[in-house]
Structure 1
Amino acid sequence: MLKPILALLLGTPLAAATAAPAALSLEDSFDAHARVITQNDEKAKATLRNSLRTADASDIADIVDELYAFENLAAGFEEPAASIISARRKTIHCLADRIEKSNSSERGIVDYHCTLPDVSAAFGAYRDAKARHRSGEQSLEGAKAFLQTYAAILRDAPDTRYEARAEFSRVGDNGPWASIDMGLLGLKLLKQLMPFQAWDERIEAEAVTAYSGIPACDLMLDAQLKFAERYDPDSPLQRGTTLQDIVAEKVRSLGPNLAEAYCRGTHDRNRAVWEGPISQEDIDQVRAE
């Protein structure tokens, strides 16, 4: 009874007093996504959830609880390393640099950057730990020692800048802004903070003759050359530096990031062929790449 009376006294229609939250603007949608992903900001979570609930498919709001990237970042670390990591992750943030809407206002693009610690200085310690593991010298104490070194480097690391682009689209007519790219941002930031897969590639690529300067491409090229030398020595690709030139052109045309993804995908797709039993169909498939 009190709520209708207050609405009348204030001269505010009851419908307006109880109206559902409106969908966020594109700029505010990006900001809310970024604060949830990097900081698990409760206010941003509530705001973003309410915005997404304005869509016809209201269950889209469930993605908000899956966005935070760093919940388990300190898992496996003992004190004081765990506290060091928890403290430094609070400094990570993302800001929009350019926002553009389509003429129909149904699609938008946000160019942005994230500021996060540069952990590249930990690569040497990681390589040493991997070498000890391969030689059979690795122990639980050795693994703990690396984690402590990594935490110390993370604590004192200078900031680095991660630049990306996110495409947004409206969910329904004049509905909220949603983005698949933002849903993947947390994983990408984790790979920047814990680039162990990329470091494994780099270590593996050190044993091959580098050509492109991109570990994933060097590994792909090395596998292709060995495959061709063994099974298809008369291929035109084996003449001079033809195969190397093709990879180098890919790198130039795609740029480092896309070239890395292309090379890794090609390598993974053909790994079984290059390393296992071979058939004419396999040879034709690799030639077609």
Structure 2
Amino acid sequence: MFKPTLVLLLCAPLCATAAPAALSLQDSFDAYTRIITQNDENAKAALRNSLRTADPNDYPDVSSIVDVLYAFENLAAGFEEPAASEIGERRNTIQCHADKVEESTSSRAGIVDYHCVLPDVSAAFGAYRDAKARHRSGEQSLEGAKAFLQTYAAILRDAPDTRYEARAEFSRVGDNGPWASIDMDLLGLKLLKQLMPFQAWDERIEAEAVTAYSGIPVCDLMLDAQLKFAERYDPDSPLQRGTTLQDAVEEKVRTLGPELAAAYCRGTHERNRALWEGYRSEPPAGSVTE
């Protein structure tokens, strides 16, 4: 019988060169979320080692995503003490958990339904609206901006939890390689927008001046802009008849769901803005110019 010391000596060359094993789908998801929400160093090492099991010739930089996953590094930037520390403490309570994990029969694709628990900062919208109104009227000052930040920090600190639900699609990196997910690469940004929803609040404030059709502010803005464009430049367009365009937007909202519909409307609205830039100097259809 080999003595334990001899066994270890014989094993040493093999143990030293053994490649790390790829994480399971569940463990890959858990590592992603611990990095995104907590910047967990153990999770970073585990996910990095897992991704490095992919063929380095085909995927030489696949593990580099690990270094940019953490979402909340600058969440407290610009806040004075004690607000900065309080935001940091509340930030550390954010967690995500898998509700359902499924692999395809070929084990090359996987789906994880999950939820994240994070502070609900919606109560800060009123203070944000007031700060924007003061800014538009020319009354905004450094003191006013600091006052809003203090209000926001206090609300973030004491806010009740809200639940963010989503689905992430995973795929193998190469044949029998590790699990990776573009959806998880984007999760940090999505959570940050939940915590600092200033773009969505801007759209909500702007959409209050238009007639709502969809219930999603950015979709209402897109719809209003398209109708005004058609009225000005193409009054005979089918878009002007009945509720053709409204129905199309409502169908998008119904089929995509609120989050994807908002992303679709936001992208369309921005593209249209660029396309319509050239029309601004043109006269309305049917008008007479000298």
Taking structure 1 as the reference length, the TM-score comes to: 0.90
Identity across matched positions, percent: 82
Instruction: Name the amino acid aligned to 1:191.
Output: K
What is the alpha-carbon distance in structure 2 between the residues aligned to residue 83 and residue 122 of structure 1? 19
Q: What CA RMSD, in Å, does the superposition of the two structures yield over aligned residues? A: 2.1
What is the alpha-carbon distance in structure 1 between the residues aligned to residue 267 and residue 179 of structure 2? 31
Identify the match of residue 14 of structure 1 among 12, 15, 33. 12
Question: Where does structure 2 lack aligned partners over 5 or more consecutive residues?
Answer: 286-290
Greater CA drift, 12-21 or 162-171: 12-21
Instruction: Name the amino acid aligned to 1:85.
Output: I
Give the equivalent residue in structure 2 for 1:86.
88
Question: Could you give the per-residue CA deviations for residues 32-82 of structure 1, whole angstroms, max 9, x where no partner exists?
Answer: 111011001111111111111222125322221111111111111111111
What secondary structure sits across from 1:181 in the alignment? helix
* Contact 1:115-1:161 within 8 A present in 2 as well: yes
What is the alpha-carbon distance in structure 2 between the residues aligned to residue 46 and residue 272 of structure 1? 43
What is the alpha-carbon distance in structure 1 between the residues aligned to residue 135 and residue 62 of structure 2? 44
Give the equivalent residue in structure 1 for 2:109.
107
Instruction: Name the amino acid aligned to 2:243.
Output: T
Instruction: Name the amino acid aligned to 1:47.
Output: A
What is the alpha-carbon distance in structure 1 between the residues aligned to residue 146 and residue 273 of structure 2? 33
Give the equivalent residue in structure 1 for 2:39.
40
Give the equivalent residue in structure 2 for 1:287.
none
* Contact 1:32-1:48 within 8 A present in 2 as well: yes
What is the alpha-carbon distance in structure 2 between the residues aligned to residue 253 and residue 164 of structure 1? 16
What secondary structure sits across from 2:279 in the alignment? coil
Give the equivalent residue in structure 2 for 1:29.
28
Give the equivalent residue in structure 2 for 1:286.
none
Give the equivalent residue in structure 2 for 1:227.
229
* Contact 1:97-1:113 within 8 A present in 2 as well: yes
Where do residues 183-194 of structure 1 align in structure 2 (5 Å cutoff)? 183-194=185-196
Structure 1 residues 248 and 9: CA distance shift in structure 2, 3 A = closer
Structure 1 residues 274 and 59: CA distance shift in structure 2, 3 A = closer
Taking structure 2 as the reference length, the TM-score comes to: 0.89
What is the alpha-carbon distance in structure 2 between the residues aligned to residue 245 and residue 105 of structure 1? 40
Instruction: Name the amino acid aligned to 2:62.
Output: I
What is the alpha-carbon distance in structure 1 between the residues aligned to residue 178 and residue 6 of structure 2? 31
Question: Could you give the per-residue CA deviations for residues 228-249 of structure 1, whole angstroms, max 9, x where no partner exists?
Answer: 1111112222123332222223
Please report how far the alpha carbon of residue 274 of structure 1 lies from its aligned counterpart in structure 2 after TM superposition: 3.8
Give the equivalent residue in structure 2 for 1:56.
55
Identify the match of residue 142 of structure 1 among 141, 144, 159. 144
Please report how far the alpha carbon of residue 254 of structure 1 lies from its aligned counterpart in structure 2 after TM superposition: 2.4
Greater CA drift, 50-59 or 84-93: 50-59
What is the alpha-carbon distance in structure 1 between the residues aligned to residue 263 and residue 225 of structure 2? 16
Give the equivalent residue in structure 2 for 1:210.
212
What is the alpha-carbon distance in structure 2 between the residues aligned to residue 273 and residue 59 of structure 1? 37
What secondary structure sits across from 1:56 in the alignment? coil
Instruction: Name the amino acid aligned to 2:110.
Output: G
Structure 1 residues 240 and 152: CA distance shift in structure 2, 3 A = same
Instruction: Name the amino acid aligned to 1:202.
Output: R
Question: Could you give the per-residue CA deviations for residues 8-44 of structure 1, whole angstroms, max 9, x where no partner exists?
Answer: 2458633453223211111111101110110011111
What is the alpha-carbon distance in structure 1 between the residues aligned to residue 256 and residue 175 of structure 2? 36
User: How many residues end up aligned between the 2 structures?
Assistant: 277
Greater CA drift, 175-184 or 126-135: 175-184
Are residue 270 (structure 1) and residue 272 (structure 2) matched?
A: yes
* Contact 1:7-1:13 within 8 A present in 2 as well: no
Where do residues 144-159 of structure 1 align in structure 2 (5 Å cutoff)? 144-159=146-161
What secondary structure sits across from 1:13 in the alignment? helix
Give the equivalent residue in structure 1 for 2:243.
241
What is the alpha-carbon distance in structure 1 between the residues aligned to residue 205 and residue 117 of structure 2? 26
Question: Where does structure 1 lack aligned partners over 5 or more consecutive residues?
Answer: 284-289
